[in-house]
Every structure is written in C-alpha cells, then in structure tokens.
Structure 1
Amino acid sequence: MDVIPVIDVKHGQAVRARRGNRASYRPIETPLAEGNDPVALALGLRALFAFPMLYVADLDGIEGRGRNAGLAERLADALPGVELLIDEGASPCSVAAELATARAGFTPVVGTEILKGADDVAALRALARERYVLSLDFKGEAFSGPPEVLENADLWPERVIVMTLAKVGSGEGPDLQRVASLVEKGGARRIYAAGGVRNRADIAALSGAGAAGVLVASALHDKTITAGDLDEIAGRFRR
C-alpha cells in the first residue's frame, strides 16, 4: 500500500486544500515545517517518513495562470530518490513533448478536468502508459472530463488516481464505493485514492476495496496519521 503525501502550491506557497474550492485555499500552517515554502514542507514530510513518492499539484498551472517556475526542479534537488508525481495542468500533447526530455524521477500527472475533447482523448491514447499517471477528477458526484475517459478503461495508464475533490480536507472519509468500482473497472492497474483519508482505519478500508495506494495531506498535518502508523502500514498493507 503506497502512502503518497500531497503538496498543493499556489503563488509559490504550499496551501491547505479543502473540498476542491481552490479560491479559498490559504497558506499552510503545519507542525511539519516552518512557514509555507514547498521545499521546506517536502523535507518535513520526508523527515516524518521515507515516502518513495510525492504528489505535487501546481494549482496555478492547473488553473491556467502559468506554472510555478522551477518548483519541480527544486523539489527534485531536495529529495533525491523520491519519485515526483507532478500535476501542472499539462495537456496530453504537452506531456508527450515533455517526456522526451524529462528528468529522471519526474512523472507527469494528467488530470481529466483539463481535457477538452476528442483531440485530447486521442493524445491521451498515444501516451506511453508506464510514463504518466492519470487523475480521474470528480467534483461532487459529477465526473470532470470527457465521459469516454471514465467509461473506457483501455484509455487508462498503469497508474490511476481517483480524485474526489469534494472530500479533500473534509474529514468525511474516502469514497469507498467509487474507489472499489473503479478498481474493478481498472483490472490490473494500480488505483490510488485521493480525498477524505483521515486515519489508518481509512487506509485499511481502502486497501480492502482494492486500492494500491492513497494520497494524503490533512491527516499528516493534523497528526491523525503518525509516523508509527506509516511504519505499520508499510509492513502490513503490502500490494
């Protein structure tokens, strides 16, 4: 079971995400780092546990304001050996071009919320499935993206995130039914659950639903998932 910490970045600062309402995100306050510099937070997370992966959402890129220049490179320099899952709002065509020169350890994330139509779907189909991660984005009960991408698992890469934005930072628990349904649809693909994970019990429930991993943020900052929990999860929930 992979536990993947999340850093959301807006205007160069790490912010606290809640329910996908990005306009209300504020600079983070956390016991894991002083201030809200994304690199300082990443180092604080790594001090808590030797996470093999880190998910970074560049909210400025996702919302079309322009990416936080140099963010991924700074994180890679600070965290050698950690795979960075980077969502910068890049289209499949942009990702295809970037993969040709991508630094080792960078894995782009394509979020369905930025897919516009048939051309993007065709470009998604052409991407090397082992080179990127797809985020199936849900806003409330609605899927955000071309319906074909949700319905046709043949379009999915080897790793897929089920992103329930309304659950993010809510403390309401994950959407187990949705995750289980998409695990079944995905077959051998590794499905990661994002949104609502509160504690070790939620992680156990998601493992039981077939998830290969979880994305977490608030539970780490609020200490409802501790270093001891992470050690136990690493040993107990192997997938």
Structure 2
Amino acid sequence: MNLIPVIDLMQGQVVRAVRGDRQAYRPIVSRLCGSSDPVTVARILCDHCATHQLYVADLDALMGRPVQSAVLRTLTQALPRLELWLDAGFATAQAADALRLELGSAGRQMVAVFGSESLASRPELAQCFSGARADDDGVLSLDRRDGQHLDIAGCWDAPELWPRRVIVMTLERVGAGAGPDLETLAEVRRKSPSTFVVGAGGIRNPEDLAQARDAGAGAWLVASALHDGGVPRTSG
C-alpha cells in the first residue's frame, strides 16, 4: 500500500489539520520538520515516504479565498518530479481547468481532486470524469464528517460516475489519532469493487497501515502520523 503525504496550506504556511475544524488550524509542529515552509515540509515528507506524490489541501481556497497559486508554483519548481494532488474546493470541472491554465507549467504537475463537499451538482460530477477529461486521471474525494456525507452533488450514490481513483475522506478522524475508518472504506469498495480506493484520516502507526492494506486500501493519505513519528521512514 502506498503512502501519500499531505500538507494543508493556509496563508502560505503548512498547518496541522485536526478533525476538519479549519478555523482552528495552527502552523505545523513536527518531529520531522523544523519549519512550516511548504517546500521544506513537502520535500521532507516525500523523502520520508519515498514518493513523488503529494496531496495538498488549499485551505484558503476551501474557505472561499483565492487559491494560493504562488505557493503551488514554488512547490512544483522546487520539486519538478512532484505529482501534486490538489484540493482547492473545485465546484466545477471548468474551475480546475482554469486553475491549471493559470498555473502554467506547474499545472502539468497538478492532479485535480474534486471533493464531494465542494462539487456543485450531479451534472458537474459527470463533467469532471467523462468526455475529453476521461483521460485526465482526476480524483474524486468522498467526504464525510461525523457519519454524515458532505455531498450536495450526490457523489456517494453515483459509483457509475466515479473515476479510477477515489478518496474516502473521514474528516473527524483527520489528526485525531482515532484509527482508520475501515467500515466506510468497505462500503465504498462494495459499491465499486474495481475502484482504486485511497483512505484518509486516522492512521497512527504501522499496525493501522497493515489493517488498511488488508481491508483493500490501495493508498492512504497521511500527515499527523508522519509529524508525530508514528510511521517510520519508507525504504526507497
């Protein structure tokens, strides 16, 4: 199972995500990184996990402010092999297309993450992963908090519209040390057995990772367990 490190960006800094309460996030304090600088943190986390994939949540954009385009450009310039999975609160496929154009060369490293909490409608869900965009390899994030689906567009109930890769994002477990949400992972796998499922939230240690792998996760998004020293370095 692959580990995909996560950085949460707010006002140009990496912050610590806890239970999806974005207003309460504070600059990261980490055993791995002595800085909240995005490039420094990204480089250390990717090296620790032996990966070139990085998930970035642009919290400014998710809370209705402008996308942190300058920070994203700096990340891709510093890490030219990076595959940048970006959740910037895209409500439509056109919004992701526009940002990719705005980023210029950096946009070629961007994999758009469309969150169910942000997508505007079921037709927009269909637009994201069909037609000319079917080969773009975008990612759908199925978001939930405290047992409730965050899903205006009805993404959870439309597996026929899902792309190849789907994230199961259990927000109340993010940064909470509560263990992975394997029940929801199993629910999504039952709906679409052929989908590559990426878990998010709750990982504390290698035992959690082993359970997630055995439950059928193809990858897991990890942040707090890396910063707290719970997940050892991956041999490259």
Q: CA deviation at 1:223?
A: 0.3
1:226 equivalent to 2:227? Answer no
1:164 equivalent to 2:165? Answer no
Give 2:37's aligned residue. Answer: 37
Give 2:95's aligned residue. Answer: 94
Give 2:193's aligned residue. Answer: 187
TM (norm. structure 1) is 0.89
Q: CA deviation at 1:68?
A: 1.1
Q: CA deviation at 1:81?
A: 1.6
1:56 equivalent to 2:56? Answer yes
Call closer, same or farther: CA 1:40–1:194 in 2, change over 3 Å: same
Q: CA deviation at 1:131?
A: 2.4
Q: Distance in 2 between matches of 1:174 and 1:129?
A: 30
1:123-162 residue pairs with structure 2 within 5 A? 123-126=127-130, 127-128=133-134, 130-146=136-152, 148-162=154-168
Match of 2:117, SS state, is helix
Give 1:75's aligned residue. Answer: 75
Structure 2: state its 5+ residue gaps: none
Q: Distance in 2 between matches of 1:160 and 1:119?
A: 18
Q: Distance in 2 between matches of 1:118 and 1:12?
A: 32
Aligned pair partner of 1:106 in 104, 110, 117: 110
Aligned residues: 230
Q: Distance in 1 between matches of 2:136 and 2:186?
A: 22
**Contact kept? 2:120, 2:153, Cα under 8 Å:** no
Call closer, same or farther: CA 1:67–1:98 in 2, change over 3 Å: closer
Q: CA deviation at 1:90?
A: 1.8
Give 2:211's aligned residue. Answer: 205
- Larger deviation: 48-57 or 122-131? 122-131
Q: Distance in 1 between matches of 2:193 and 2:52?
A: 24
Q: 1:128-186 deviations in whole A, cap 9, x for unaligned? A: 25421111100110010136311111111111110000000010101111101212222
**Identical aligned pairs, as a percentage?**
40
**Contact kept? 1:60, 1:68, Cα under 8 Å:** yes
Q: Cα RMSD (Å) of the superposition?
A: 1.9
Q: Distance in 2 between matches of 1:142 and 1:41?
A: 32
Call closer, same or farther: CA 1:171–1:98 in 2, change over 3 Å: same
Match of 2:56, SS state, is strand
1:121 equivalent to 2:125? Answer yes
Partner AA of 2:119 in structure 1:
L
Structure 1: state its 5+ residue gaps: 235-239
Give 1:237's aligned residue. Answer: none
Q: Distance in 2 between matches of 1:135 and 1:46?
A: 21
Q: Distance in 1 between matches of 2:85 and 2:192?
A: 20
Partner AA of 1:162 in structure 2:
V
Match of 1:136, SS state, is strand
Q: 1:64-97 deviations in whole A, cap 9, x for unaligned? A: 1111122222111122222110111122221244
Q: Distance in 1 between matches of 2:226 and 2:129?
A: 35
Partner AA of 2:111 in structure 1:
T
Give 2:84's aligned residue. Answer: 84
TM (norm. structure 2) is 0.90
**Contact kept? 2:46, 2:52, Cα under 8 Å:** no
Q: Distance in 2 between matches of 1:6 and 1:29?
A: 14
